[in-house]
Amino acid sequence: MIYLNEFEFYEAEGMICAVPFDHDGATCGSSLDEAVFMATDWLRSEIEYALMRGETPRSGTFGHTPEHGGIVIAVSVDCDLARVDAVSAADAARLLGVSTARVSQMCESGQLTSWKEGARRRVLRASVEARLEERPQAGRPRKSALG
């Protein structure tokens, strides 16, 4: 599905800021081209995370006037959860070296980003990769590590 939102682009502190209308947040880039790319990425992430939570993404309104002396550009993204790089809970468990029950616990606690498609849980691959980079060790930290 196509999602549209207007952003105001303006210069601040040597960067081009991109502030969405009708949403909280912002992004920036070193040039207008980069800022538009970043705004597109920001909007895609916002839409995907709303879809993952089972929410209907908020629609943007149009016809805004600049609030910071910049220009208004409409940004669009085509996204749905079928295009999100995700793995099954079983695959996430294999990658992480844990049980599927532990993956469910990690999803419920917010350690992994996931959503359900019917009865199946899908886990955002980037959240699995981030968890692998952290590589928390099993057990309690040693007393010397606690300071």
**What is the model's pLDDT at position 143?**
64
Distance CA 145, CA 114 (A): 32
Q: Is the pLDDT of residue 142 over 80?
A: no
What global pTM score does this model have?
0.74
Query: What percent of the chain is modeled with pLDDT above 70?
Result: 92
Q: Is the pLDDT of residue 27 over 90?
A: yes
Mean predicted confidence (pLDDT) in 58-66: 90
42 Cβ contact list (under 8 Å, min separation 6): 18, 20, 25, 26, 27
Closest by Cα among 51, 110, 61, 113 to 86: 113
Q: Is the pLDDT of residue 7 over 80?
A: yes
CATH class for the domain made up of 2-81: alpha beta
**What is the model's pLDDT at position 39?**
97
- Dihedral pair phi/psi, residue 106, rounded to 5°: -65, -35
Mean predicted confidence (pLDDT) in 85-111: 93
Q: Which helix (H) or strand (E) holds 34?
A: helix 32-52
The overall average pLDDT reported for the chain is 90
Cβ contact 102:93 at 8 Å: yes
**What is the model's pLDDT at position 94?**
94
Q: Is the pLDDT of residue 146 over 70?
A: no
**What is the model's pLDDT at position 145?**
54
**What is the model's pLDDT at position 67?**
95
* pLDDT tens per residue, range 101-125: 999 999 999 899 999 888 899 999 9
Helix, coil or strand: residue 27: strand
